[in-house]
Amino acid sequence: LALAGVNSRFELWHGMDRVGEFQLALFGAQHISNAAAVAAFLHHNGFEMKAAAAAMASFRGVGRRQQLLIRHGDVRVFDDYGHHPREIEVTLAALRGLRVRRVLVAFHPHRYTRTRHLLKDFATCFAGADQVWITDVYSAGEKEIPEINGARLASAVAEQGTLAAFASTLSRLREQVRMAAKPGDVIVFFGAGDITQVAHQVA
């Protein structure tokens, strides 16, 4: 595996036979694992590997999955739909592979019930971040659950040793992230709700 910017490269082998070399305009172990599985399937079913490699090299991913919105000098802003602890962990690990100065995270919790059920997992999944801001829960039509909110989640994250703060509104979140960003930082906005609007505004 080799990383160059936000690109990845891998080789696929079948036993002692080299199937081919593949390059992705994506990064992170999860993307490489998915691409390798696709290449193995195509190889098994007799597809031409040079054509498969060319198709993979031209694939730019899908919207809101490690989507690079802008690179402004040495600051990069990503938008990501991830709203489950495992998704967040995997994406942060991938961003760490870019050897950046700091990883700053803004998170919009999605649904009161999910936040309640996965509170302990959310408390630890941001360990790969240098600083985290959490805004209030995006209800997605659910009724509010007492004591389940962004402030409680931010406290739970901070208790695990990650620098975390609560931003009561999306506009406040936007301003706090803007003020904290420094050259060399990567900023990633996580959430299934309208936090994507803030990501575009910061970008």
Whole-number pLDDT of residue 7: 73
- The whole-angstrom separation of Cα 22 and Cα 52 is 8
Residue partners of 128: CB distance under 8 A and separation at least 6: 89, 92, 93, 95, 96, 103
* DSSP annotation of 142: P
Which position has the higher pLDDT, 203 or 34?
34
Which of 70-74, 152-156, 159-163, 197-201 is the least confident region? 70-74
- The whole-angstrom separation of Cα 158 and Cα 131 is 10
Q: Determine which helix (DSSP H) or strand (DSSP E) holds 109, and give its type and residue range.
A: none
Is residue 170 within 8 A of residue 60, CB to CB? The reply is no
**Tens of pLDDT along 1-36?**
333 445 788 999 999 999 999 988 777 777 788 889
For 135, the token pair is 């805004």
Whole-number pLDDT of residue 54: 92
**Tens of pLDDT along 100-156?**
899 999 999 999 999 999 999 999 999 999 999 999 999 999 999 999 999 999 999
Is residue 130 within 8 A of residue 100, CB to CB? The reply is no
Q: Judging by DSSP bridges, how do beta strands 164-166 and 131-134 pair with one another?
A: parallel
**Tens of pLDDT along 49-69?**
999 999 988 887 777 788 888
The answer to whether the pTM exceeds 0.85 is no
For 153, the token pair is 């989640």
Q: By 3-state DSSP, what share of the chain in percent is helix, strand and coil, each rounded to 5?
A: 40, 25, 35
